[in-house]
Structure 1
């Protein structure tokens, strides 16, 4: 059982790494900056693969009434905005910077849980939120490759992600094909979605969060070697602060508080 979980975790990390590196290569190196067109390709391929998986019995798709589908419309709008803004941001920002800004969505989710769902928040989680905010807030002033458009789209992206996960009820198990909310090939998007669902179904929230954190670390680290990234000591400090914040978030999830 432990070996199976490790295999699922490693598969998820591999898909996560390939997903972001491929996206960055297409969006930045090849200069393919047409998110709407890429989104259509992603949806077509992902939909076909999902249908094949359903026919083979690998995925379960429950039928829904028209009224149920109408309730998904607000989430669908946020979902499209999340993908579009994420792809525009990733085309202009380094992957470590993008992931650090993306983590601020966790702050929105935590704030909603605290204010509206009245969930108890542990000191570790509060420190995590503060570190994530501080890291993202300091980045624009210390990023030697600062791009105002990239940060603008990143802000829209993280608000779409935060609102989508904290406020709206949306069938992510079956329709969430874009982890990290940016354009990708249909195949990578689908297999990452599939491995994410498998990861969450087999592991406790703390273990799942640890694997996601590990995937982000290796993706950010390898991207620095593969793409033209300029990191000053101040930028590295912001990234490390964001990493510390997410590590505390993983710790709070594993403790179940």
Structure 2
């Protein structure tokens, strides 16, 4: 969608519908979340803004001299620095000491596992992109997202309502349409 407005690129109707479904699902989810926490959504908006800015910067540079791995490293470093500086004015820097699970080994183990698994997922995604056609790669990434969403519903203590499930299904439909538009493009 960014490329449609900023770089005036031709975009397929399937891709536009996909983005609209994803935006509708993301926009409706906070209003239908029975465990709503504004801090979580605040940081999600910050993350999405950073990713969007990074994508715009990435598309605006004509000669891309950095490899995919180097781009990911720069993205991670930029995110850590930005979030470290953003945590002080929001008060999250000092409220971390009041976190109830701060001294539990399961919490620290889960954080480390999440970091390692995220790194290996990023690394395997970069390798997948270099070995497969874009449509096939998009299909595998979609499959990974479906498995992740399904496991997160099982592993985390969530209260599912019909509206929440609708938002999740609408987001899944948007992702599936994105994969379809990628395969039609190739």
> Structure 2 length as normaliser, TM-score?
0.70
**Which one of 117, 122, 131 corresponds to residue 202 of structure 1?**
131
| 2-structure distance, mates of 1:245, 1:114 | 17
Output one character per residue of 1:136-172: Cα deviation in whole Å (capped at 9) or x when no partner.
1111110111111100110010111111123235844
Q: What's 1:255 paired with?
A: 184
Q: What's 1:149 paired with?
A: 39
Report how many residues are paired: 145
**Which one of 62, 69, 85 corresponds to residue 173 of structure 1?**
69
- Helix, strand or coil for the counterpart of 2:142? helix
| 2-structure distance, mates of 1:137, 1:174 | 32
Q: CA deviation at 1:187?
A: 3.9
> Structure 1 length as normaliser, TM-score?
0.52
Q: CA deviation at 1:225?
A: 1.4
Q: CA deviation at 1:184?
A: 5.3
Q: Which moved more, 1:231-240 or 1:162-171?
A: 162-171
- Helix, strand or coil for the counterpart of 2:26? helix
Q: Residues 203 and 131 of structure 1: is their aligned pair in 2 closer, same or farther, counting only changes over 3 Å?
A: same
Q: What's 1:139 paired with?
A: 29
| 2-structure distance, mates of 1:163, 1:226 | 32
Q: CA deviation at 1:175?
A: 5.0
| 2-structure distance, mates of 1:148, 1:131 | 23
**Which one of 127, 144, 150 corresponds to residue 215 of structure 1?**
144
Q: CA deviation at 1:236?
A: 0.4
| 2-structure distance, mates of 1:188, 1:140 | 27
| Structure 1 segment 103-118 matched on structure 2, within 5 A | 110-111=1-2, 113-118=3-8
| 2-structure distance, mates of 1:196, 1:202 | 10
Matched, 1:125 2:54: no
**Which one of 27, 48, 56 corresponds to residue 158 of structure 1?**
48
| Structure 1 segment 34-45 matched on structure 2, within 5 A | none
Structure 1 residues without counterparts, runs of 5 or longer: 1-109
Structure 2 residues without counterparts, runs of 5 or longer: 81-110
| 1-structure distance, mates of 2:125, 2:167 | 28
| Structure 1 segment 5-154 matched on structure 2, within 5 A | 110-111=1-2, 113-154=3-44
Q: What's 1:83 paired with?
A: none
Q: Which moved more, 1:210-219 or 1:163-172?
A: 163-172
Q: Residues 144 and 127 of structure 1: is their aligned pair in 2 closer, same or farther, counting only changes over 3 Å?
A: same
Q: CA deviation at 1:233?
A: 0.5
Cα RMSD (Å): 2.3
Q: Residues 184 and 252 of structure 1: is their aligned pair in 2 closer, same or farther, counting only changes over 3 Å?
A: farther
